[in-house]
Amino acid sequence: MEKAPSVIRYSDSDLAEFKEIILRKLDAAKKELAYLQGLITRRDEGGDMDEGRYMTMEDGSVSMEREQLSQLASRQITFIDHLEKALMRVENKTYGICRVTGHLIDKARLRAVPHATLSMEAKSMMNR
């Protein structure tokens, strides 16, 4: 009988710790997104006070601010997506494995960037 290759992965208790970190960040990210979307909605509703008014300098800054809020919201949506994918990797027990080297990503890195899919080694190789 052949012995199955040993798979290098984080223990279930490590995965549980990372899951907690990801869930906390996900909760905070979703609250931030809701806040940003609320600001964008208020900007949209507040712009129509007087049909006949002239375009002012303020209108330009409002649309610029709305664009910045939209960009922040878009980044937040991407961040939430990355965190949700990280949760799936925790469930599949593939979390914390570098997609380039196949080695475990350092715990300190995962605590700081819980959606990381590259070890620092792989990241520095790619930046060369």
Domain ranges of the chain: 11-46+59-94, 96-128
Per-residue pLDDT of the chain (128 residues; tens, 9 = 90+): 555 455 689 999 999 999 999 999 999 999 999 999 999 888 666 655 554 455 555 667 778 888 999 999 999 999 999 999 999 999 999 999 999 999 999 999 999 999 999 999 999 988 88
Q: For residue 30, which amino acid is it?
A: K
